[in-house]
Amino acid sequence: MVFTGRPNAGKSSIIRAVVGLDVTTGKRPGTTRRTSKYPLNDGLVLVDMPGFGRMIGAPKRLENRINVRIIRFFEFNAQNIVLAVHVLDTSTFLEVTWRLEKKGVLSVDVEMAQFLAKTLGEFPLVAANKIDKADKKKIDANLKEFMHRISNGNLSAVADYVFPVSAKTRDGLGALKSAIHERLVAKGYRTPFKTH
């Protein structure tokens, strides 16, 4: 079970809120640069991927090396990956996307979701996090645009994969946990957290 996300999207907070596992021990928030593995149950391992994409303050070479490592990890391990969860900062998605586009760069979140879908043969679950951090209109617009982009306009194809949540207020976490639970059970694993 692999968790991905841009630095600061709230990946550690989501892992803590969903699985009850603290992956931040000994790390400053937003600075995960290593792939960390945490054994759960039934041989299931939680993999915390380093933040993907632009890293504030990191030299370009290090950034590229980490991104290449993430891509290789998925390509090598695709057969063994039971489930991927991508954590999105929904509150800033469009601002960040437009800023990148001005530089001729694709949205890292869109790229990641599409890469995972292609490599794993199934869309990742998306924890559309930080819905408490902007007004509902902005969150809805950002979420719709994200879904539009990852599905190339076919929103209904991805509707079952995207879960608006807040790790802070715990809003929407129940639905995300149920979706993770369903997928793990379908692949013969027990869920490593309480489902109610």
Among candidate residues 69, 67, 62, 172, the one with its CA nearest the CA of residue 126 = 172
Residue with smaller CB distance to ligand GDP, 11 or 183: 11
Q: How many residues bind ligand GDP (CB under 6 A)?
A: 18
Q: Which of 1, 2, 13, 50 binds ligand GDP (CB under 6 A)?
A: 13
x/- track of binding to ligand GDP for residues 103-142 (CB under 6 A):
--------------------------xx-xx---------
By CB under 6 A, tell whether 92 contacts ligand GDP. no
Token pair, residue 153, equals 């306009």
Q: Which of 49, 66, 70, 167 binds ligand GDP (CB under 6 A)?
A: 167
CA atoms of 65 and 184, how far apart (whole Å)? 31
- The string of DSSP letters for 84-121 reads EEEEEEGGGHHHHHHHHHHTT---HHHHHHHHHHHHHS
Q: How far is the CB of 158 from ligand GDP (least distance, A)?
A: 21
How far is the CA of 123 from the CAs of 59, 102, 194, in angstroms?
A: 31, 27, 24
By CB under 6 A, tell whether 177 contacts ligand GDP. no
Other CB atoms within a 10 A radius of the CB of residue 81 amount to: 19
CA atoms of 89 and 9, how far apart (whole Å)? 5
CA atoms of 149 and 151, how far apart (whole Å)? 5
Q: Which of 29, 95, 175, 182 binds ligand GDP (CB under 6 A)?
A: 29
By CB under 6 A, tell whether 5 contacts ligand GDP. yes
By CB under 6 A, tell whether 69 contacts ligand GDP. no
Residue with smaller CB distance to ligand GDP, 12 or 151: 12
By CB under 6 A, tell whether 53 contacts ligand GDP. no
147-170 in b/e form (b: 16+ CB < 10 A) is bebbbeeeeeebeebbbbbbbeee
By CB under 6 A, tell whether 11 contacts ligand GDP. yes
Task: Summarize as ranges the residues that interact with ligand GDP (CB under 6 A).
Answer: 5, 7-13, 29-30, 51, 129-130, 132-133, 166-168
